[in-house]
Chain A
């Protein structure tokens, strides 16, 4: 006999966990769709964001939320600085540009992880928040943890903003043109470097901010990045590579699958079930669950 209270709580847990994944998946999908970069450093941006939250929050009245605007701006600048380097190693006469980008970002990830470990040590660090604590209990439904709910809202809002920018503004049109065909976009007079820097900066800003929320939800730890890199890959495969709206569906599928498997089957089988889903999707629908992403070539 299924306990209805537990069932609805598991649905809430799954949806909100999916919301956390959406915050990471949006930027990652954007970077892949626009820049055609499989960014292995995605999880490390999350980690650096969480550490930034842990370090700056005590200076800002012990409230992690106040760090978000700082992270958005500083990570945008960081991303805009890094993108030309990625562009440099993925263009020109170099063979296998996708592989070059992958290797570059893998090295970047290792550098970031090692640097944080060397500077701050291996300890866990809390990102405190007095605003986003506890949960809101709705009778007969379940408890909505405040920090997870806000994180999910942030992720979905970011997705909506990006979608608006991409499909309703001139800049967005330019980015889509670059994603479609760089050479033709350049011939149309689009400043490719500028828009690619904007796209990568936006990705870094969003992912770093997601890191602050994740730090508030869990904790900041130098080793946390690998886990989120793996989930970012899960997200884009399920969503369809480069297809932004699919990110929400992918997040929900991942979150609910994880939650229901953990409670009703076995916590030990969560990763097995997730990998099974990924393999099945890759075999049956390589363009993602909705079939709208790019085909893997």
Chain B
């Protein structure tokens, strides 16, 4: 009994000590947000799980912005004083619910603003948390139109919605000569990919082209069946919405079964290293969609002088060529930096500052290496930057992308119809 009493007393002491420690830690946490000499950004992105490739792309984009402004300008200048930028990451683990928890964690830890997750799925879960906490949030990667249709007041996005990107890239492909008469559309069954498929379907309908079938399926499907059904329909073009893994599986199955439509357009990520490495010899001639590549003709602006200067900085920092998601993520940081300058408040930002920041973001126009960023303030694209021109790209023999559409933006002629597998 005595021993039990002692054990209990020891236990209670331990619990008391732990509670005190937690309480002190909590005080330290909340107290740490007052009188900061740096701006604190929370970034929620997928650093593990099936979307970790995209998560790392967004992380590179955010980090490149923060590192560059800290190294070149000492941070964000407010009233003659510079404040460094610090980004703290929380792993969304590729799942919406974890992303929402991670966003709450970032807010509780006193972030001044939030840089958004990779993937529309997670973004759709994070945006309501931003609304509840009145926290400014810019996504550098999410493309689902649903995000903007919801009308979230505190969320913004630098990349145009896929209903614009997918539609305009598909339209450019559908206008190539010889003009196609039929398309087969496939999409992985998740919000971004379905939105991509829907945008391609809309483009085909607008062009008056026969849609042989529009099929949706889960990510882990066996693509020989998808390809066999498409092959049986014998379309002129195949349009596919999904992420990189699904593109690789689709193009591999197409090669194995000898399925050769005149063109295969896939979105997102055809011009990423992951697609080229994964698809290997099957990658050339694939069509894709983007809003930015390093040799696109756009002016520079804040922080980076030109698209190529940004690409060089990325190559130097990460030994990898940036894609438009990384560029859009960096642009999100630049937009915040310019908005913070206009706000003129030293860190940490008060709630009034954050509310004022929303008004600034709604009116801001920022010229960047990525293009001019201006957010819509009404309609279906509320708070989305839809000014950036979507481009139709095609991978060359060496896997490098060339802009082949729309006509006014094209820098190369498309290789169309693409050669059959046994002629490559």
A residues at B contact (CB < 8 Å) = 3, 5-6, 9-10, 13, 16-17, 117, 121-126, 128, 133-135, 137, 143, 145-148, 217-221, 223, 227, 258-259, 262-263, 266-268, 270-271
Contacts and interface: CB of A to CB of B under 8 A. Distances in A.
B218 interface: yes
Interface stretch (B11-19, B48-56, B79-87, B149-157): B48-56
Contacts of B245: 124, 219, 221
B110 interface: no
B422 A123 contact: no
Given A122-B55, A122-B56, A258-B225, 9 more contacts: A121-B56, A125-B277, A128-B281, A134-B256, A143-B256, A218-B248, A267-B189, A267-B215, A267-B216
A223 B257 contact: no
A183 to B, nearest CB: 40
B389 interface: no
Given A134-B422, A270-B217, A123 B224 contact: no
Contact of A143 (B48, B218, B248, B258): B258
B256 A146 contact: yes
Contacts of B232: 3, 5-6, 9
A13 B258 contact: no
Interface string B210-245: 000001111011101110110110000000000011
B370 interface: no
Contact of A263 (B229, B253, B278): B229
What 5 A-B pairs have minimum CB-CB distances, sorted nearest first?
A124-B278, A267-B217, A126-B280, A145-B256, A122-B53
Contact of A125 (B228, B253, B278): B278
Interface residues of B, number: 42
Contacts of A148: 224, 256
Nearest to B232: A6
Given A124-B278, A145-B256, A13 B228 contact: yes
Q: Which of B220, B232, B255, B280 has the most CB of A within 10 A?
A: B280
Contacts of A125: 277-278
Contacts of A133: 255-256, 281
Contact of B222 (A13, A135, A143): A13
Contacts, number: 121
B368 interface: no
A60 B252 CA distance: 22
Contact of B249 (A10, A143, A219): A219
B274 interface: yes
B222 A258 contact: yes
A269 to B, nearest CB: 9
B148 interface: no
A17 B221 CA distance: 11
Contacts of B55: 122
A259 B278 contact: no
A128 B282 CA distance: 10
B191 interface: no
B221 A9 contact: no
A18 B60 CA distance: 40
Contact of A268 (B48, B218, B229, B278): B218
B273 interface: yes
Given A145-B224, A145-B256, A146-B256, A270 B278 contact: no
